[in-house]
Amino acid sequence: MSQSNAVRREIDAAPVPHAQSFELRPLPGPVGAEIIGLDLSRDLTAADFARVHQAHLDHHLLVFRDQRITPQQHIDFSRRFGRLMIHVLHQFHLANHPEILIVSNIVEDGKPIGLGDAGKYWHSDISYKELPSLGSLLHAQELPAEGGDTLFANMHLAYDTLPAALRNAIEGKRAVHSYLAQYGQLQKEGNWRPNLSAQQIAQVQEVVHPVVRTHPENGRRALFVSEGFTTRIVDVPEDESRALLAELFAHSVRAENIYRHRWQPHDLVFWDNRSLIHLAGGTPDHLRRKLYRTTIEGDTPF
């Protein structure tokens, strides 16, 4: 058989994705929509993918209900949006799937199986890199009977509602983001965080980003600072920087900016890190919680 015939046969044999009928239900409040009836274990047609992509841009957060997907299917779907980032805490990668970070409070044989205090401070994932994240996908594996919610704040709304004086004070300003901003504090508060090796520290050198960024796809401006990773505003005195950041942090997480996600079994939540910051609401110590996270790389904030 000629090589071109062999290639043609392989193409003919590849399964053709079929259109799926699914519903998009906006959530009440400042962020989010549910997607009902879409099966992400199947390949999406170009039209279905385009609808999901547009919904993500419109709502900033999508809740795909009832996704019985494998880690590889989670990775494959995430990759359709961009390159995946590998988290610096390799201790908590899923075995054979370094693209997945385990977020969990479960301890087995005296060792945490995942990052138990992920998201304890408001943050945008991996904003401490030159290329911060476009978005993250968190898939529920094991949920507690109470607690374990995740909160999301809309940073476009936060920017749009800034008092004029505060908006003027940050015009054109840039801020430092550091993975180590709260690391020492988190080590003091719990037993989840390993000491970082020199190699890990080298991977998380601090970076500078604009305090207000423009979303590269929807064109809207958003505040891009968080208590989790932003340490100071550059070119302003230290006390002024501290006061400005405190005001920006408080303004970002006012109740009207927030959506609280109450997890249901097999939820996959996909949020936009360019539009939102998020916080893990906390789980009672005696209850088990485990989720798998992929993180998509974005572009240089401007």
Known catalytic membership, residue 266: no
Ranges within 118-137 binding ligand SIN (CB under 6 A): 118-119
Phi, psi of 69, deg, nearest 5:
-110, 155
Task: Give least dist CB 279 to ligand SIN, A.
Answer: 7
**Could you give the CA distance from residue 78 to residue 93 in angstroms, rounded to a whole number?**
16
**Could you give the CA distance from residue 73 to residue 92 in angstroms, rounded to a whole number?**
19
Instruction: Give Dmax over CA atoms of the chain in angstroms.
Output: 75
- The yes or no reply on residue 31 touching ligand SIN (CB under 6 A) is no
- The yes or no reply on residue 280 touching ligand SIN (CB under 6 A) is yes
Nearer to ligand SIN, 86 or 236 (CB): 86
Angle among Cα 165, 169, 170 to the nearest 5 degrees reads 125
One residue of 293, 294, 296, 301 binding ligand SIN per CB under 6 A: 293
Task: Give least dist CB 193 to ligand SIN, A.
Answer: 14
Contact 131, 216 (CB under 8 A): no
Known catalytic membership, residue 278: yes
Nearer to ligand SIN, 170 or 225 (CB): 225
DSSP character for 70?
Answer: -
Nearer to ligand SIN, 35 or 276 (CB): 276
Annotated catalytic residue, options 48, 117, 125, 267: 125
Task: Give least dist CB 263 to ligand SIN, A.
Answer: 8
Beta partners for residue 260, in sequence order? 151
Ranges within 81-120 binding ligand SIN (CB under 6 A): 103, 118-119
Known catalytic membership, residue 123: yes
Residue sitting closest to ligand SIN (CB): 119
Nearer to ligand SIN, 44 or 181 (CB): 181
**Could you give the CA distance from residue 110 to residue 120 in angstroms, rounded to a whole number?**
22
Please report where in the chains the tokens 């890990």 appear, as a residue.
200
Known catalytic membership, residue 285: no
Ranges within 218-257 binding ligand SIN (CB under 6 A): none
- Write the CB contacts of 190 (distance below 8 Å, at least 6 apart in sequence): 116, 117
129 to each of 124, 203, 287, how far by Cα in Å?
11, 9, 33
Which residue numbers are catalytic? 123, 125, 278, 293
Which residues contribute to the site for ligand SIN (CB under 6 A)? 103, 118-119, 150, 278, 280, 293
